[in-house]
């Protein structure tokens, strides 16, 4: 290639911008014979294809050209009102449409929040492990990460306190996914939630809460989001239609009660895409306000994923060697397993792929890449038969790979 394209001509931030490890892994899992627990994909057979076709038709015939026109950066008012109203109805909050910004997936929310908050070398606090796509989005702005240990009840408040106390400079924000987390499926307990908000507020470290899975509860409703524990604009929030409608619509949102922050986010989004697709916003609004459709659809997703989780758990219990430990998520799309620490799950991945089963090795979810014994298993994207066969293949691969480890 020409010298003009050699790497030294690219911005320095590109050194931190790498292809997502998951995308690389997904390439391996594309083969039809591979059962994949690797992707983070919803079940495509549940996508409301016919409803979306009808909604699209209705939008085009009732709204016509304006549905295809440029529109405002903040998003269409109808959808913003619905987003605020849904959270208010569920958690007794009082958000208004002015506090809502529609984004192109919640992934864009991560990017623009990172853009307005992070200067190179700033500290960002993450739970350990955290969402790979957030690390990837923030990496472009060259932060340093401070990580806080988690257990089955989520981020540990005492550990958070300690990390903030020892931070060389005040961190810019804490990013966390308190409910049915990606990658672990864990939920921050109701008891810890106000403590986390209080610790951050006392230390003047704002919180950025990411809640894509909160609607996917298999039994009890999860505790209220952190933003419902605040009232001071200290917590900003992002949600998405990806897991309750379809990710291909690329509709997410932010709730940002603090006006000065909103005033920075809007031009950041404007520079990136002017606004989120107008047509998609109208289609989603039509869909979610179509009688009882949304409630029925979410109930179906919960039931299907809940049954798939149960099948995966019972297969793991039945088939895995003793040293494999796994959790019991109460919702979402993932569970987390740990193998004997002598096994590196990136190496194990190769053996598993050869046996036609895939998962995501844990290392890239740890911002400092400091643990290698974890694996993320997705249960939403395979049917129950495939889940059992896949777990059986994985158990055999682990036994063969770790021969000698019981
Ligand atoms: N945050 C988390 C924790 C996620 O798991 C995902 C999707 N995998 C996203 C954000 C981005 O989702 P979307 O852009 O589709 O809303």
Q: How far is the CA of 182 from the centre of ligand 1 (A)?
A: 9
Strands 173-176, 123-128: pairing is: parallel
276 lines ligand 1 (CB under 6 A): no
Percent of the chain with pLDDT over 70: 96
Beta bridge partners of 116: none
**How many other CB atoms are there within 10 angstroms of residue 369's CB atom?**
10
Give per-residue pLDDT as tens, 56-98: 999 999 999 999 999 999 999 999 999 999 999 999 999 999 9
Q: Given ligand 1 and candidates 126, 133, 180, 380, which is best to mutate, with the most ligand atoms within 8 Å of its CB?
A: 133
Residue 125 banded pLDDT, cuts 50, 70, 90: very high
Give per-residue pLDDT as tens, 20-63: 666 667 777 888 899 999 989 999 999 999 999 999 999 999 99
**Predicted pLDDT at 2:** 55
Model confidence at 324: pLDDT above 90: yes
Model confidence at 138: pLDDT above 90: yes
Helices H / strands E in the chain, number of each: 12, 14
103 lines ligand 1 (CB under 6 A): no
Considering only 50-64, 163-177, 389-403, which range has the smallest mean pLDDT? Answer: 389-403
Residue 3 banded pLDDT, cuts 50, 70, 90: low
Peptide bond into 152 cis (omega under 30): no
Give per-residue pLDDT as tens, 353-377: 999 999 999 999 999 988 999 999 9
| Look-up of token digits 């016509």 | 64
**Predicted pLDDT at 87:** 96
106 lines ligand 1 (CB under 6 A): yes
Torsion angles phi and psi, residue 361, rounded to 5: -60, 145
Give per-residue pLDDT as tens, 269-294: 999 999 999 999 999 999 999 999 99
Mean pLDDT of 254-264: 97
The pTM for the full model equals 0.95
Considering only 11-15, 207-211, 241-245, 337-341, which range has the smallest mean pLDDT? Answer: 11-15
Distance (Å, whole) CA 231 – CA 301: 32
**Predicted pLDDT at 28:** 78
105 lines ligand 1 (CB under 6 A): yes
* Contact between residue 21 and residue 364 where contact means Cβ atoms under 8 Å apart: yes
Model confidence at 148: pLDDT above 80: yes
DSSP code for 184: T
**Predicted pLDDT at 9:** 82
Task: Kindly give the number of the ligand 1 atom that is closest to the alpha carbon of 252.
Answer: 16
Q: How far is the CA of 272 from the centre of ligand 1 (A)?
A: 18
Model confidence at 1: pLDDT above 70: no
Task: Please state, rounded to an integer, the average pLDDT across all residues of the chain.
Answer: 94
Percent of the chain with pLDDT over 90: 88
**Predicted pLDDT at 129:** 95
Task: Kindly give the number of the ligand 1 atom that is closest to the alpha carbon of 177.
Answer: 3
The HSE-up count of residue 197 (CA atoms within 13 Å, CB side) is 21
Which among 325, 313, 330 is positioned nearest to 375, based on CA atoms? 325
Model confidence at 404: pLDDT above 70: no
**Predicted pLDDT at 13:** 86
**Predicted pLDDT at 20:** 66
Mean pLDDT of 380-387: 97
């Amino acid at each position: 290639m020409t010298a003009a394209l050699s790497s030294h001509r690219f911005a320095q931030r590109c050194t931190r911008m790498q292809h997502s490890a998951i995308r690389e892994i997904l390439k391996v899992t594309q083969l039809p014979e591979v059962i994949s627990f690797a992707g983070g994909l919803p079940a495509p057979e549940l996508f409301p294809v016919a409803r979306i076709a009808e909604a699209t038709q209705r939008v085009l015939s009732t709204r016509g050209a304006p549905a295809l026109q440029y529109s405002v950066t903040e998003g269409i008012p109808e959808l913003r009102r619905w987003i605020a109203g849904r959270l208010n109805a569920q958690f007794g909050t009082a958000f208004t449409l002015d506090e809502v910004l529609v984004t192109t997936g919640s992934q864009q929310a991560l990017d623009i929040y990172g853009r307005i908050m992070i200067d190179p070398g700033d500290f960002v606090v993450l739970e350990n492990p955290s969402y790979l796509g957030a690390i990837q989005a923030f990496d472009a702005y060259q932060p340093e990460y401070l990580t806080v240990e988690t257990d089955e009840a989520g981020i540990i408040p005492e550990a958070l306190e300690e990390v903030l106390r020892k931070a060389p400079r005040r961190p810019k924000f804490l990013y966390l996914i308190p409910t049915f987390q990606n990658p672990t499926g864990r939920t921050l307990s109701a008891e810890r939630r106000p403590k986390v908000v209080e610790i951050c507020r006392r230390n003047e470290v704002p919180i950025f809460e990411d809640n894509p899975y909160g609607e996917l509860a298999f039994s009890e409703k999860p505790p209220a989001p952190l933003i419902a524990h605040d009232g001071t604009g200290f917590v900003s929030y992002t949600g998405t239609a990806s897991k309750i409608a379809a990710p291909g619509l690329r509709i997410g949102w932010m709730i940002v009660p603090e006006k000065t922050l909103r005033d920075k986010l809007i031009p950041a989004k404007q520079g990136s895409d002017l606004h989120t697709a107008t047509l998609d916003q109208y289609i989603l609004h039509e869909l979610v306000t179509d009688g009882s459709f949304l409630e029925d659809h979410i109930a179906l997703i919960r039931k299907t994923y809940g049954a798939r989780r149960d099948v995966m758990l019972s297969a793991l219990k039945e088939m895995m060697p003793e040293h494999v430990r796994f959790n019991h998520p109460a919702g979402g799309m993932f569970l987390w397993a740990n193998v004997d620490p002598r096994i590196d799950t990136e190496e194990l991945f190769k053996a598993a792929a050869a046996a036609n089963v895939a998962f995501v090795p844990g290392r890239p979810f740890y911002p400092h890449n400091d643990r290698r014994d974890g694996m993320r298993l997705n249960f939403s994207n395979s049917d129950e038969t495939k889940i059992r066969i896949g777990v059986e293949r994985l158990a055999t691969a682990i036994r063969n790979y770790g021969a000698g480890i019981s």
